[in-house]
Amino acid sequence: MTVERIIKKFNDNNPGVDSEILQLAYDFAEEAHRGQIRKSGEPYINHPLHVAYLLAEIKADLATVAAGILHDVPEDTSRTLDDLKNNFGVEIANLVRGITKLGKIKYRGLERYRENLKKMFLAMAVDIRVIFIKFCDRLHNMRTLDYLPEEKQQRIAKETLEIYAPIAGILGIWRLKWQLEDLCFKYLYPEDFNKLEYKYEVEKKAERNNFFNRIKKDLNPQLKEAEINNEIEVRFKHLYSIFQKMKTKDRTFDEINDVFALRVIVEDINDCYKVLGIIHTIWKPKPNRFKDYIAVPKPNGYRSLHTTVFGPEGKLVELQIRTREMHEESIYGLAAHWHYKAKRQENVQKQPAWIKEIIDIQKEFSDTNDFVHKIQLDVFHNRIFVLSPKGDAIELPDGATPIDYAYAIHTKVGNSAVRAIVNEKICRLDYELKNSDVVEIITEKNKIHPNKDWLKFAKTKKAKDAIKQYAKKSPFENIKKFIPGMGRK
């Protein structure tokens, strides 16, 4: 790896941006690390260069790529953070400080695991870009794991699978997540990895390619006739994901239907919906397998149209339709999101909404176990979006109920809720909502008291806190007897 490759990759993604600081960072780091050797026998400077290149690949900003080159300087050389601040400014120095402060993340049983998670969460709350650097640092370390003893390989792979890969998924950085998982798979389950890799890459490769080409042959003329500029590519499910699906669903490799999907990448949102219509005229769609993540994005910002159709010979195939910006955000996650906001000269310093949730939970819970539990439950649990009757999207945790939605609208709406209408059907307040449900809350004007029994099915912190707050004020043990009709199923 050379600094010239890093600069070229960065400039390709950011034409017109002055990248001179990357050469200066390299000169500084090369001098500081001179004489240091990695376990592989190569000069140490190769590691931070690879980290910086990975950052440039995921479209990280200039300061983050420069910090990637410099990230090991304070910890492994005689140069200090003050030296970095004096030479490269406060922003880059603070990013390197964040990496240094994060320290070595290691899996050492449940207690240490939770402490490490807390470090990761709090580092994200300070500056999310610190985590980008940490992920790329870990990915390059995983790629060079062969040079370490087997015991250490196992430990590092387990750390990576348990800590790094899940958070990369939360942030939507799938390019890093799947690489981390497949490398862990290789070291933790070598026999399963080798068998699956052979079946995937050797036995089924020709069959996959032929099927893919048949679909392109049918689809391309229709897109050309509609004058839609497009790029079609295939997305293969990575090996660890297939392995997990085989285990959880107790299936063989040949029984996994969604081993690959076709992506149609177009110029704008209007073309996305035009392509969807064309696809459904060529092949019959499978019922209940259409998802519009453009109208209602996933919580990590993912946007795309998904449809599953009965393709050639009646075989099921998933097609994903998106713009180039959506495609890159789906691969690079928040890093690409920052990149596109910067191109539009928007405020890239604004952190995701769940960052504030982390900070609020930190203030409330000083105990590490409680802190991590609340983060996992309230922030990083799978999220869904439901819609108001006017089409406003409300983000809720997976498993949320209409009472969570009611309190998300307003505390008064929650307190006075009596029933819900979900997709134009009357539902109980403990009904489990699904992504894209349209929800309306029916309230009773004179009812201002929540039902204590709602705590049995409320999922969000806001709903639970509001219900508990009234329960503490109430002099009666059973609140629900004052609310006719509530608490019954």
The closest of 438, 428, 431 to 485, measured between CA atoms, is: 428
Phi and psi angles of residue 329, each rounded to the nearest 5 degrees, phi first: -70, -30
Residues 461, 276: Cα–Cα separation, whole Å: 38
The closest of 390, 388, 466 to 433, measured between CA atoms, is: 388
Cα distances (Å, whole numbers) of residue 378 to 163, 173, 344, 410: 18, 21, 32, 18
Other CB atoms closer than 10 Å to residue 214's CB: what's the count?
Answer: 15
- Per DSSP, the three-state class of 384 is strand
The closest of 406, 381, 403, 420 to 458, measured between CA atoms, is: 403
Quote the crossing angle between the two packed helices 20-33 and 81-88, to the nearest 10°. Answer: 150
**DSSP β-bridge partners for residue 443:** 417
Residues 271, 235: Cα–Cα separation, whole Å: 20
- Per DSSP, the three-state class of 390 is coil
- The 3-state DSSP composition of the chain as helix, strand, coil percent (nearest 5) reads 60, 10, 30
Other CB atoms closer than 10 Å to residue 318's CB: what's the count?
Answer: 20
**Exposure of 356 in the CB half-sphere (CA atoms within 13 A):** 4
Phi and psi angles of residue 439, each rounded to the nearest 5 degrees, phi first: -120, 135
Instruction: Report strand pairing: 417-422 vs 439-443.
Output: antiparallel
- CB under 8 A, 24+ apart: contacts of 206-215: 208/234, 208/236, 208/259, 208/260, 211/311, 211/312, 211/315, 211/317, 212/260, 212/262, 214/311, 214/312, 215/262, 215/311, 215/312, 215/317
| Catalytic position from the list 30, 76, 162, 325 | 76
Q: What stretches of 365-448 show up as alpha helix (H) in DSSP? A: 368-374, 402-409, 411-415
State yes or no: is 76 an active-site residue.
yes
Phi and psi angles of residue 322, each rounded to the nearest 5 degrees, phi first: -160, 165
| Catalytic position from the list 4, 27, 31, 75 | 75
State yes or no: is 271 an active-site residue.
no
Does an H or E element contain 265, and which?
strand 260-266
Active site residues: 75-76
